[in-house]
Chains A and B, each alone.
Chain A
Amino acid sequence: MNASATTAYGGGFTDPAVDSARAFRAAMNVMAKPGEIRDLATAQPPAPLSPAAGTLLLTLCDPETGVCLAGACDTPEVRGWLAFHTGAPVVGAAEADFAVGTWAELLPLDRYRIGTPEYPDRSATLIVEMDALEPEGATLRGPGIRESAQLSLPDAAALAGNAMLYPLGLDFFFTCGGRVAALPRSTAISEA
């Protein structure tokens, strides 16, 4: 009975309380276990957002979180959809709590807030839209990983540089279609 993304504002959660709790659980688990890939495609956002990125935005954003729509994501349809479902304001990269776009659109990384020594949580979380998301490539080690994990990262060197900033730095979700993985700042990255 829920409208698809073809209608303006369509494709939101059918049952917001249950859907957002499930999506939050998935987002929390991938962030707790870097390298793990989960399915997350409850929402059907307008193009070019992927279902996983749209579901993350619906789950994590509210009127108090600024969202930066990078590059091709910044369309009137996406802005209207985000405003209707979350009320989140669209802001520039320097004030953003969340930023969404492809890796190339999101660069350079030093535009985003990395937190302060007193409040390392005042940092941005980047939702990176990927063409492919596979458990191969760069090697991840750190909290939440038993031995090591592998994940196809867009730019392992830049992400390793972000991990060097710990306890400051950015956190990342990687989305591809209806799948999501995450990389917190606490994960050490080495090239495969």
Chain B
Amino acid sequence: MTTQEKNAAADDAGSQARRGWMSLLAKAPEDRLMALWAAYGDSPAFDWLRQPETGAVMVRGRMGGTGAPFNLGEMTVTRCSLALADGTVGHGYVQGRGRERAQAAALIDALMQTAAAGALRQAVLDPLAEAMAEAREARAAKAAATKVDFFTLVRGED
């Protein structure tokens, strides 16, 4: 592996990890995220690159996860971008109209690229991921309890 390839691989792993926390922050429930962020407590100074703005994005889906893509519908998204004092850029994209929440998401994204990443992951991202996994499992379990298996022994028409 050349140095360049190593750098590219590291970049890939980095952007993979970043994709993970961006996804988590985008989908996180507002009250939970804000509570954890407030509990973390350390909100650094920053400059706006893009003030929070609300718009709509088209959500696309695939039937059964494998079919041809179709437009599922539009959803409201709020985004913002900011730079910390050391120049680290953070982007926040969250569902809904929460400007505070977009700002918190952008700050977390920026801080996750700094030395504060470990503490932040422990204080905010891990509990958030756990809570969301729990909620998902609870919902899946509730749905599974109502599952009905249909099967046909003999069809009546002949």
Residues of chain A touching chain B, judged by Cβ–Cβ distance below 8 Å, are 1-3, 7-10, 12, 14-16, 84-85
Contacts and interface: CB of A to CB of B under 8 A. Distances in A.
Contacts of A7: 47, 49, 83, 87, 89
A8 B89 contact: yes
A10 B83 contact: yes
Contacts of B89: 7-9
Nearest to B81: A9
A3 B83 contact: yes
Contact count band on B? 10 to 19
Interface in B29-84: 47-51, 53, 81, 83
Q: Is the interface of A mostly helix, strand, loop or mixed?
A: loop
B103 to A, nearest CB: 12
A14 B47 contact: no
A189 B73 CA distance: 53
Nearest to A1: B48
A84 to B, nearest CB: 7
Main secondary structure of the interface of B (DSSP, over half): strand
Nearest to B47: A3
Contacts of A16: 51, 53
B47 A9 contact: no
A84 B49 contact: yes
Interface of B: 47-51, 53, 81, 83, 87, 89
Contacts of B49: 3, 7, 9-10, 12, 84
B49 to A, nearest CB: 5
A85 B79 CA distance: 13
A2 B48 contact: yes
Nearest to A17: B53
A9 B83 CA distance: 9
B87 A8 contact: yes
A1 B47 contact: yes
Given A1-B48, A3-B47, A7-B47, 14 more contacts: A2-B47, A3-B48, A3-B83, A7-B87, A8-B83, A8-B89, A9-B81, A10-B47, A10-B49, A12-B50, A14-B51, A16-B53, A84-B81, A85-B50
Contacts of A14: 48, 51
Contacts of A12: 49-50
B62 to A, nearest CB: 24
A9 B49 CA distance: 7
Q: 4 closest A-B pairs (Cβ-Cβ)? A: A3-B47, A7-B83, A9-B49, A3-B83
B107 to A, nearest CB: 14
A3 B50 CA distance: 9
Nearest to B53: A16
A1 B51 CA distance: 10
B55 to A, nearest CB: 12
Nearest to A6: B87
A53 B81 CA distance: 23
Contacts of A84: 49-50, 81
A88 to B, nearest CB: 16
Contacts of A1: 47-48
Nearest to B86: A7
